[in-house]
Amino acid sequence: MFSSFLKTLPQISIFHNPSSPASVRALAMLRSALSAPYPPDKRDAPPLQFNLEIVERTPPTADQIKTIVSYLQPKGPSSETPQYSAFLSAHPSAPGLSDQPQTAAAMSDLVTKNPEAFKWPLVVDWNGGRASVGDVDGVKTILEALRQRRDGEVKDDVDRPAGWFS
C-alpha cells in the first residue's frame, strides 16, 4: 500500500560541454528518453522517468570524482579500479602520462583550470552507481538499465522493512 513512498526517481547528472559533439549527442539522448517512448523503436513504450541535472561547463568536484571512480567499470581483462586518467581527454593541453593527477583533488583542480583536458560528457546515475565518461554508448547502457528497472526486469534494491507492509 505505501511501497510507492519508498520509490524515488533516479538522479542522473550530465556534466556537459556544448562544444563537445559527444556531449551534445548524450544530452539529446537523455532528453529524448524523458520525453519520447523509450526504447525509441517501441512506439507504445512510455518515456523513462528520472531527474536530469545538467551541469554545463563545470567539471565534478573532488568528492564527486571519488564517488564516480567507484562507479566506473574496469575495461579489459584486469579487474583494477579505473584511474583518474579515465577523465582525461586526448586534447593537446591534457597532461602526459607522467604528469597525470593521482588524486581526486588534483584531478578536480586540473579540469577546473583546463576544461579542455576533461573528457566530456560525464553522465552519472547516482542511484544506480553507474557512470559513463566521454562515451555515448555508456549513456545507452545507463538508459537501458533504467528501462530494465522500469519494466521490472531487475528487482529494485530498496531495503524494505519486514513487517506490516511487506
Complete edge-to-edge strand list for the sheet that includes strand 122-125: 51-56, 11-16, 122-125, 130-133
Give the list of residues 6+ apart from residue 68 with CB closer than 8 angstroms, or none.
60, 122, 124, 131, 133
Give the list of residues 6+ apart from residue 30 with CB closer than 8 angstroms, or none.
12, 14, 52, 123, 139, 143
Q: Which pLDDT belongs to residue 166?
A: 42
Contact 118, 59 (CB under 8 A): yes
- Using one digit for the tens of pLDDT, what is the confidence trace for 27-39? 999 999 999 999 9
- Higher-scoring residue by pLDDT: 93, 18: 18
- Does residue 160 belong to any structural domain of this protein? no
Question: Which of 27-36, 38-47, 147-156 is predicted least confidently?
Answer: 147-156
Task: Tell me how many domains the chain contains.
Answer: 1
- Does residue 165 belong to any structural domain of this protein? no
Residue 5 has pLDDT above 80, yes or no: no
Say what angle helices 21-35 and 136-150 make with each other, to 10 degrees: 20
- Does residue 42 belong to any structural domain of this protein? yes
Q: Which pLDDT belongs to residue 159?
A: 52
Question: How far is it, in rounded angstroms, from Cα 89 to Cα 75?
Answer: 17
| Domain enclosing residue 18, as ranges | 9-150
Q: What is the CATH number of the domain that holds 77?
A: 3.40.30.10
Cis peptide before 10 (omega within 30 of 0): no
Q: Which pLDDT belongs to residue 122?
A: 97
- Does residue 4 belong to any structural domain of this protein? no
- Does residue 3 belong to any structural domain of this protein? no
Q: Which pLDDT belongs to residue 80?
A: 60
- Does residue 57 belong to any structural domain of this protein? yes
- Does residue 116 belong to any structural domain of this protein? yes
Cα distances from 74 to residues 24, 32, 139, in angstroms, run: 25, 28, 16
Q: Across the chain, what does the average pLDDT equal?
A: 88
Q: Is 153 helix (H, G, I), strand (E, B) or coil?
A: coil
Residue 113 has pLDDT above 80, yes or no: yes
- Does residue 162 belong to any structural domain of this protein? no
Question: Which of 89-93, 98-102, 134-138, 156-160 is predicted least confidently?
Answer: 156-160
